[in-house]
Amino acid sequence: MSAMNKFWFPAGSLLVALVLPLVVHNVSWLNLAILVLMAAQAGVAWNIVGGYAGQVSLGHAAFYGLGAYTSTLLLLKLGINPWLGVLAAGLLAAALSTAFGWSCFRLKGHYFAMATIAVAELVQIFFNEWDFGGAAVGLSVPMDRTGWLWMNFASKLPYYWLALGLLVLTLGVNWWIERSYLGYYLRAIKDEPDAARSIGIPIARYKQIALCISAFFSAAGGSLYAQKELYIDPNSVLSTALSIKMALVSILGGVGTLFGPVLGALMLTSIEEFTRILFGGTGRGTDTIIYAALIIFVAVFYPLGIVGWWRARKERADWARVAREAS
């Protein structure tokens, strides 16, 4: 990608994102945009450990749900401000991610993926039974104090700005990681773990650092979800389906790329919502079939995601040009 593209693509996207709510007033369109932003943010957070470090976690809903539950319980039981709640949720998830990493990081490949599913499943079972946390019934976020101070609004628009802000922040951290030593270490760990170890990169520590950052932002995303939806239960914020979705948006867009998850989220969420609106009412699973067919299609034919496919295409074109000029 040229330097122009590198600047103009993010700048253009941000401009579109900033202007969008001024043009779009329809509530359901605005809601779709918020869903896209939140899915993108979750994907970007997953991408830190799943993409850059190449540790395929299929249990990230554990962090997302932990975030949603932490801020909501703090608000509900202790009256703590959600802004502090988001921070507390992120920090708690980052702290607990050390246990997650400790139990899973010594495993590789499929074993790692399976173990992360098991951990997330355990967390879900726990929240399903924990009476203080609302058990299977879930928790409602009180609406008695609204406004920016309490991150609680009657209209959708402020949530759009919140979701956009969190996404930009998460992207910023990823951008920083890509350029820092951490990013180089993570890519080395992903591509050549043995070589990375032999030159003295402390693999376990850097995987854990990546996981902590990833967990922090996943949890923050979960907190925001709770504030927006005003209701959480284990099924909505801790399910395996959510874990899978967090990984899926990255895969669709491009694993280990900065904007891949954003593109993936745009695609996946739009298709999900449109098929649900068009076919969901029949109750016959037509929306699920289309959704699944899309996943299979991309996984089989575009294994590198949209960004990866675009880059490979560009590279081929460049080589073809070099070959033409040489002959």
Partner 1 sequence: MTFEIFFQTLASGILMGLIYALVAIGLTLIFGVMDIVNFAHGEFLMLGMYSSFWLFSLYALDPLLTLPLTALMLFSFGVLLYRLLIVRIINAPMLSQIFTTFGIMILLRGVAQFLWKPDFRTIENSAVSGSIKLLGLQLGEPQLVAGLGAVLITSAVYFFLNRTRLGAALEATASDKEAARLMGIDSHKMFSLAWGIGAACAGAAGALLATFFPIFPDVGANFILMAFVVVNLGGFGSVTGAFWAGILVGVIQVMGGLLLGPQYKTAVVLVIFLGVLMFRPQGLMGKA
- With CB under 8 A as the contact rule, which of the stretches 29-37, 230-238, 241-249, 264-272 interacts with partner 1? 241-249
- With CB under 8 A as the contact rule, which of the stretches 9-17, 33-41, 123-131, 226-234 interacts with partner 1? 123-131
Site residue total, partner 1 (CB under 8 A): 45
Query: Quick one: CA dihedral 271, 213, 218, 36, positive or negative?
Result: negative
Smallest gap, in angstroms, from Cβ of residue 122 to partner 1? 5
Whole-number CA gyration radius for the chain: 20
Q: Give me the helices (H) in 48-129, please.
A: 61-78, 82-104, 109-129
237 close to 288: Cβ distance less than 8 angstroms: no
- Is 204 a binding residue for partner 1 by CB under 8 A? The answer is no
Identified binder of partner 1 from the candidate list 86, 115, 189, 210, rule CB under 8 A? 115
Virtual CA dihedral for 6, 9, 10, 14, nearest 10 degrees? 160
Q: Which is nearer to partner 1, 133 or 158 (CB)?
A: 133
Angle between helices 240-253 and 286-301 in degrees, nearest 10:
50
Tell me how crowded residue 281 is: count the other CB atoms within 10 A of its CB. Answer: 10
Smallest gap, in angstroms, from Cβ of residue 144 to partner 1? 33
Q: Which residue has the tokens 């209209």?
A: 155
Chain-centroid distance of CA 13 in Å reads: 18
- Is 289 a binding residue for partner 1 by CB under 8 A? The answer is yes
- Is 93 a binding residue for partner 1 by CB under 8 A? The answer is no
Identified binder of partner 1 from the candidate list 1, 27, 109, 278, rule CB under 8 A? 109
Query: Quick one: CA dihedral 299, 301, 307, 309, positive or negative?
Result: positive
- Is 125 a binding residue for partner 1 by CB under 8 A? The answer is yes
Identified binder of partner 1 from the candidate list 98, 140, 270, 286, rule CB under 8 A? 286
Tell me how crowded residue 269 is: count the other CB atoms within 10 A of its CB. Answer: 21
Smallest gap, in angstroms, from Cβ of residue 218 to partner 1? 18
- Is 121 a binding residue for partner 1 by CB under 8 A? The answer is yes
- Is 247 a binding residue for partner 1 by CB under 8 A? The answer is yes
Contacts with partner 1, 23-62, as mask; x by CB under 8 A: ---------------------------------x-x----
Smallest gap, in angstroms, from Cβ of residue 9 to partner 1? 24
- Is 75 a binding residue for partner 1 by CB under 8 A? The answer is no
- Is 273 a binding residue for partner 1 by CB under 8 A? The answer is no
196 close to 203: Cβ distance less than 8 angstroms: yes
Q: Across-strand partners of 152?
A: 147
Angle at Cα 131 formed by Cα 133 and Cα 78, nearest 5°?
40
191 close to 198: Cβ distance less than 8 angstroms: no
Q: Which of 60, 59, 65, 61 is nearest to 116 (CA)?
A: 59
Identified binder of partner 1 from the candidate list 13, 81, 98, 128, rule CB under 8 A? 128
Identified binder of partner 1 from the candidate list 145, 303, 315, 319, rule CB under 8 A? 303
- Is 126 a binding residue for partner 1 by CB under 8 A? The answer is yes
Compute the distance between CA of residue 237 and CA of residue 63 in angstroms, rounded to an integer: 9
Chain contacts with partner 1 (rule: CB under 8 A): 56, 58, 103, 106-111, 113-115, 117-119, 121-122, 125-126, 128-129, 244, 247-248, 251, 255, 283-289, 291-296, 298-301, 303-304
